[in-house]
Structure 1
Amino acid sequence: MNDNVEKEFNVGGNIETALSGQYELKAGNIIREAWQLTRKNFWSFSPTIVVLIILQIAIFMVALKMQLGDPSVLFSLLDGSADSSKIESIVQSVMIANFSYEIISAPLYAGVCLMAMSHATGFKTRTNHIFKGLHFTVPVMLVTLMGLVLQGLAGAILPFLSLYFSMAFSNSVFLVCEKRMTPMRSLLLSLRAINKKLLPVVAVYALILVMFFVAALFYGIGFILVLPFFFHVKGIIYRDMFGIKMKIINSGGNGTPPSNNNKQSQVFDA
């Protein structure tokens, strides 16, 4: 006999309020909460970030090797021995490899986003939850591909437009995974919702850009803090904009409240 009792509820906003802008979104509150979540989940979340980076680098190097044959030719750019035609070929190869790794690693990136979203609702995660994004491999890769193409086209017109679309589409992966939306609809809804709260979102992402720059100055060591912070910001903004549907399973049955251990295992189930 199954004594599990399921209870569903919504945390944060919803689609209607996201598109109307009838809710509060303050940059200061987002930054403070993201920092608190980063500190609270640092030791459990940071290994996942490291795994993501390693896998992304591996995918990039494989894609680059397929383009160049021998990635060591990149050093010819540094010593100035490459002629103009060779430089152009190398740059194109790097851009294609970069594009390829973003598409291929998109499901893993989605898994990290879902983990940050779980933190924003008070639940714990484990490193292997990075693979939850694989449940949505095709739509996540499609929405990433569409977003990158639109960003590239916009950037060809005006460089800063690429940054704008990158920010405007920042909720699309969440919408595909958590709301089960189609890639095109998720891009459109993310764009419309971000435009309703453009100023606070721009302020937060401007700070993140500065943090990325500072982290790079310290040989990339600072990314161990900046990247978890970045993902938590994304999770908080999504929660406050669109809301997150949660399901609590009381395994005790008969109204018996779940134990702390049960609660810790109740993470968003992609």
Structure 2
Amino acid sequence: MNDNLEKEFNVGGNIETALSGQYELKASNIIKEAWQLTIKNFLSFSPTIVVLILLQITIFIVALKMQLGDPSAIFKIFEDSADSTQVQSIIESVLIANFSYEVISAPLFAGVCIMAMSHATGFKTQIRHILKGFQFTIPVMLMTLMALMLQGIAGMVLPFLSLYLSMAFSNAVLLICEKRITPMRSLLLSLRAVNKKILPVTAAYALILLMFFVAALFYGIGLIFVLPFYFHIKGIIYRDMFGVKLKVINTGGNPPNNGNKTQSQVFDA
């Protein structure tokens, strides 16, 4: 006989309030909490970020090698002897490789987003939890593909629009993983919700861009802090906008935990 008792509750907002904008979202609070989470989870989360980066670089190099044969050919665009046709071909190869690594690594990216969301709801994580995104491989890859295509089209019209869409679609991956929403609907919901709180969201992501720029000036060393901070920003904004559904399971145990176990839809405590 199973004596487990389950009770669900929601942390943060919900889809209705996200679309109506009837909730509070302050950039200062987001930034402060994101930094606290980054420091608190630094030792456990940073290695996951390193794993993600290494895998993405590997995918990019393989994709580039398939296009150019020799990845070092990319440096020919800086040579005076390179003709315009050759330069254009190399640039197209780089764009295709970039497109490929973003789509292929999307489940890994989703796993890191889930981990950051979990930190924002009080869970601890381990490196192996990066694999949590693989259960959503197809929808996450489809969403990434659609988002990149829309950003590419927008970028041809006005570069700023591509940057805006990147921010507007930032919640889509967690909507798929946590709310089980379809790829296209996740993009639309994220877009509508971000537009309702465009100023605080823009302020938070503008700080991220500035931090990326400063980190690049110092040979990328600062990225070890900036990248976890970026993912925690995403997790906090998602929690406050759409909420995270948690479940308390009473297993009938004894103190100190009174037999209670808390978990989310995508992250088992």
Q: CA deviation at 1:169?
A: 0.3
In structure 1, what is the equivalent of residue 14 of structure 2? 14
In structure 2, what is the equivalent of residue 138 of structure 1? 138
1:36-185 maps to which residues of 2 (within 5 A)?
A: 36-185=36-185
Distance, in Å, in 1 between the alignment partners of 2:5 and 2:169 is: 36
- 8 A contact 1:110–1:174 mirrored in 2: yes
Distance, in Å, in 1 between the alignment partners of 2:81 and 2:102 is: 30
Q: CA deviation at 1:21?
A: 0.3
Q: CA deviation at 1:58?
A: 0.4
Change (3 A) 1:159 1:260: farther
How many residue pairs get aligned? The number is 267
Structure 1 segments of 4+ aligned residues over 6 angstroms from their partners: none
Distance, in Å, in 1 between the alignment partners of 2:205 and 2:81 is: 39
Distance, in Å, in 2 between the alignment partners of 1:115 and 1:144 is: 19
Q: CA deviation at 1:137?
A: 0.3
Q: CA deviation at 1:269?
A: 2.9
Change (3 A) 1:157 1:257: farther
**What runs of 5+ residues in structure 2 fail to find an aligned partner?**
none
Distance, in Å, in 2 between the alignment partners of 1:109 and 1:101 is: 11
Superimposed CA distance per residue, residues 15-74 of structure 1 (whole angstroms, 9 cap, x where no aligned partner):
000000000000000000000000000000000000000000000001000000111111
- 8 A contact 1:248–1:266 mirrored in 2: yes
Distance, in Å, in 1 between the alignment partners of 2:264 and 2:54 is: 25
In structure 1, what is the equivalent of residue 195 of structure 2? 195
Change (3 A) 1:96 1:3: same
Q: Give the aligned residue type for 1:140.
A: V
SS of the residue aligned with 1:111?
helix
Distance, in Å, in 1 between the alignment partners of 2:259 and 2:131 is: 22
Distance, in Å, in 2 between the alignment partners of 1:248 and 1:62 is: 44
Give the fraction of aligned pairs with identical amino acids, expressed as a percent.
76
Superimposed CA distance per residue, residues 101-141 of structure 1 (whole angstroms, 9 cap, x where no aligned partner):
00000000000000000000011011000010000000000
Q: Give the aligned residue type for 1:153.
A: I
Q: CA deviation at 1:78?
A: 3.0
**What runs of 5+ residues in structure 1 fail to find an aligned partner?**
none
Task: Tell me how large the CA RMSD over aligned residues is.
Answer: 1.8
1:269 to 245, 266, 269: 266
- 8 A contact 2:248–2:260 mirrored in 1: no
SS of the residue aligned with 2:130?
helix
Distance, in Å, in 1 between the alignment partners of 2:166 and 2:94 is: 20
Distance, in Å, in 1 between the alignment partners of 2:213 and 2:219 is: 10
Superimposed CA distance per residue, residues 89-110 of structure 1 (whole angstroms, 9 cap, x where no aligned partner):
0000000000000000000000
In structure 1, what is the equivalent of residue 257 of structure 2? 259
Change (3 A) 1:260 1:29: farther
Q: Give the aligned residue type for 1:11.
A: V
- 8 A contact 2:111–2:132 mirrored in 1: yes
SS of the residue aligned with 1:17?
helix
Q: Give the aligned residue type for 1:128.
A: R
Superimposed CA distance per residue, residues 158-214 of structure 1 (whole angstroms, 9 cap, x where no aligned partner):
110000000000000010110000111100010000000001111111110000000
Structure scoring higher RCO (CA < 8 A, sep ≥ 6) equals 1
1:172-251 maps to which residues of 2 (within 5 A)?
A: 172-251=172-251
